Amino acid sequence: MAPAYKPPAPEEKEAYVRQLFDQIAENYDAMNQVMSAGQWSRWHKQFVAMTDFEPGGRILDVACGTGDLSMLDAAQVLPGGSVVGIDISEGMMEVGRKRIAQTPYKDAIVLEWGNVMELKYEENSFDGATMGWAMRNVSSIPQTLSEIYRVLKPGARFVCLEAAKPYSKFVRFGFFLYWKTLLPLIDWMVVKTGRQAKVRPYTYLSRSLDSYPFPNELEQMFRDAGFKQVEYKPLMLGTVAIHVGTK
């Protein structure tokens, strides 16, 4: 019998996540449209409303992947502004660089390798920061938040868009039924990884909310990292949340 899925141990998580995103990079954008049932653009509109960045600003998009949020950030800070996107997966950024090269933002965005838990930037160096669909993937949320806090200028905002664990048991049951039955099937049908494969991307994603905090717990973690005016907006029956905090 095939072995049951085992999530990566904390010390293996970064390498596992990097390998996983390198593996799915080419299909990532198309799969998001399918998995979000077309809600992707709607969530992004809400995200932009909460960022509210100004022209001329310098923004850091952590865990930028293929650059969706980097481009949304750039649209707000142009003219005169710029965006630095960082990620641990070269595969995701390679797809992102090709996409960005076709847009009016190509001169305003740089994607470079970096780990959000050890940012190489000076403190107080960005006018804003964003993170999309990635807080679940880091090995330490407190360390991630304190690094982002460190590099932001006083008064700058951090906006985090991520899947959320719904409070309602009823919604949670329905959501997890979809999430935990459909997503593992994608591994088999699209990514074509068997049940024996060490890295099973969509099985991992379907399980990655298990140990993730509820939205109010994440809100408290923002405060613990030093952020002020912290709030969050639940979307789609609480299965997605946008958290915002100001340094």
Ligand X SMILES: C[S@@+](CC[C@H](N)C(=O)[O-])C[C@H]1O[C@@H](n2cnc3c(N)ncnc32)[C@H](O)[C@@H]1O
Residues in the site for ligand X, rule: CB under 6 A?
14, 17-18, 21, 62-66, 68-69, 86-89, 92, 115-117, 132-134, 137-138
State the nearest-atom distance from the C-beta of 130 to ligand X, in Å. 8
State the nearest-atom distance from the C-beta of 169 to ligand X, in Å. 26
State the nearest-atom distance from the C-beta of 2 to ligand X, in Å. 26
Cβ-based nearer residue to ligand X, 87 or 127: 87
Distances (CA, A) of 32 to 132, 183, 192: 12, 11, 17
- HSE-up (13 A, CA, CB side) for residue 169: 0
Cβ-based nearer residue to ligand X, 14 or 26: 14
Contact between 208 and 134 under an 8 Å Cβ cutoff? The reply is no
Cβ-based nearer residue to ligand X, 63 or 199: 63
Cβ-based nearer residue to ligand X, 125 or 208: 208
State the nearest-atom distance from the C-beta of 92 to ligand X, in Å. 4
